[in-house]
Amino acid sequence: MARVWDAYLSTRDKAHIAAGGERPRMGFGKQPALVLIDNYYGVLGGGPKDLIEHIKELPMAVGPEGWEAIMRTQELLVLCREIGVPVVHITGMEGVSPWARRNGGRGRRLAPELQEIGRGSTEIVDELSPIEGEPVIRKASPSAFWGTPLVGHLNYLGVDTVIACGESTSGCVRASVVDGCTYRFRMVVPEECVYDRHEACHAINLFDMSQKYADVLPLEEVKTWLRGWKSAQEETAATRMLASVGA
């Protein structure tokens, strides 16, 4: 199956994979959670636009691929809500000095486009807006885990598998995936549900995560597993009910 990173791999890279150098999948565990990272207006703006034109008004813009990923993530979010998978939203923290000082202040001021549509920089887009019962965790670093209660919340829920979506692939998503792996979660990244402003960085970071820290999978494969997980949950519940009646 063709992958987004194939075009960026060298001849030796491809030979290494063909010779058995690809990391075996870790696989899903018993209890998944969906973690949505930095899907906010400060990078997406009011709609898909050409990246080069968009950054003139929205310095942190990610390009039209961001909105494509939002639409695919919305599919996953709807499914997770339907079958009872915990959802956690991650966004930036207001009033704290930005972690990336080298940005030279990019994104600190409210861009004219966001003023026009009446949205804050770290406000989560309506398409993925949290509903009652879904926590919103604010972070002040690239990783969703650093300085936040995320790991405690996931442990409380008995989560062993984190499905990570959002932006940027090479930045906050990758940092969160590495930290999640460090905390011994099984990390899953649906390929169509992450995005970046740089095409090469997006592709190669997906490849690198797949080689070291996460199972980077097509969205449909993730959705298929989730439906199977829900069926297994229902079968287990039915079996326990029958056993209790028989007792």
| Given the residues 80, 172, 181, 193, the one annotated as active site | 172
- Type of residue at 203: A
Whose tokens are 């989730």? That residue is: 226
Indicate if 201 belongs to the active site: no
Which candidate, 77, 65, 79, places its Cα nearest to that of 203?
65
| Residues whose CB falls within 8 Å of the CB of residue 227, separated by 6 or more in sequence, listed in order | 79, 83
Catalytic positions are 172
